[in-house]
Amino acid sequence: MAKSSAEKSYHAHIARVKAVRYVVLVLLTIMCLFSFYILLINSTRAHAAIQQGFSFLPGRSMITNFKSVINNGQLPVLRCLLNSFIVAVGCAGCTTYFSTLTAYALHAYDFKGRKAIQTFIMAIMMVPTQVTALGFVDLMRTFKLLDNYIPLIVPTIAAPVVYFFMKQYMEGALPLEIVEAARIDGSNEFRTFNSIVLPIMKPAIAVQAIFAFVTSWNNYFTPNLILTKDNMKTLPILIATMRGADFLKFDMGQVYMCIFLSIIPVVIVYIFLSRYIIQGVAVGSVKG
């Protein structure tokens, strides 16, 4: 009887702990989604209504705001959306492919200086982008690459954080015996990487592709230094330009609509690739 009472007490304690966890998770979810809810509501309201204060109910100006944004000749929203998409896709592709290739080289080969190279790559993570910004802009000006997407895409090949994630993933998901078997069968290194390693690394690539896409999509600092032509600018620059205008000249309804349009591609990419996140992050614990 005492054992049964102890078991009941234990199960009751576990139930209370789970209940507290669920409550905390629900509250955190509400806090995270509340800002998106405000964005969605304000994108449906007119400028005058937004100035009056926040409302939990949507307005009736969503179509009006959308048409105003699309038809405004001074706001090339669609062009900026396309520019941001080109840069974000290019960054995501370059970052994931070449970081995976670098991680594969340091994982599959044992050569002198490998640890020193790994230490150097990890040390680069400690250098902020702002420290090298002026020198980077001067270098791009020397190469005559200002107002070009190459300085925004090609440097993302060197991504120490992505490399580190890929290297850790390979240690748990890519046995070297598979690589050795491919070599014995006569496969060259690039064929082995593209045909065998990349499919195994698909979950990790999908996870980092999401992060790289979102980071590039929201990047304002570097594009603002490189791009000066209006037809080359990305969406964050356009939104900052709208918000930085004279208070009497910009329409808050249009600003919120632009921000709402800017998050749609990110949500779409996340929906398509999100199923790989748990699989990619949990692989280490599963192997452990």
Q: Which two tokens stand for residue 169?
A: 């993933």
Amino acid at 288: G
Q: Which two tokens stand for residue 165?
A: 């994630």
Amino acid at 97: Y
Question: With 60 as the cut, is the pLDDT of residue 231 above it?
Answer: yes
pLDDT of residue 148: 93
pLDDT of residue 89: 95
pLDDT of residue 2: 47
Identify which of 93, 94, 121 has the alpha carbon closest to the alpha carbon of residue 107.
121
CA 184 vs CA 179, 181, 192: distances in Å = 9, 5, 11
pLDDT of residue 21: 92
Q: Greater confidence, 276 or 35?
A: 35
pLDDT of residue 153: 95
Ranking 76-85, 100-109, 179-188, 273-282 by mean pLDDT, the lowest is 273-282
Q: Greater confidence, 89 or 130?
A: 89
pLDDT of residue 111: 84
Mean pLDDT score across all residues of the chain:
86
Q: Which two tokens stand for residue 106?
A: 């340091």
- Domain limits, the chain: 2-65, 67-287
Q: What percent of the chain has pLDDT over 70?
A: 92
pLDDT of residue 28: 93
Cα radius of gyration rounded to whole Å, the chain:
25
pLDDT of residue 171: 86
pLDDT band at 283 (very low <50, low <70, confident <90, very high): low
pLDDT, mean of residues 51-67: 87
Q: What percent of the chain has pLDDT over 90?
A: 35
pLDDT tens for 268-282 read 888 888 777 666 555
Question: With 90 as the cut, is the pLDDT of residue 71 above it?
Answer: no
Query: How does DSSP classify residue 154?
Result: G
Question: With 90 as the cut, is the pLDDT of residue 23 above it?
Answer: yes
Question: With 90 as the cut, is the pLDDT of residue 85 above it?
Answer: yes
Whether pTM exceeds 0.85: no
> What CATH architecture is 67-287?
Orthogonal Bundle (1.10)
What is the rounded distance in angstroms from the CA atom of residue 153 to the CA atom of residue 266? 18
CA 172 vs CA 86, 165, 278, 284: distances in Å = 33, 11, 15, 6
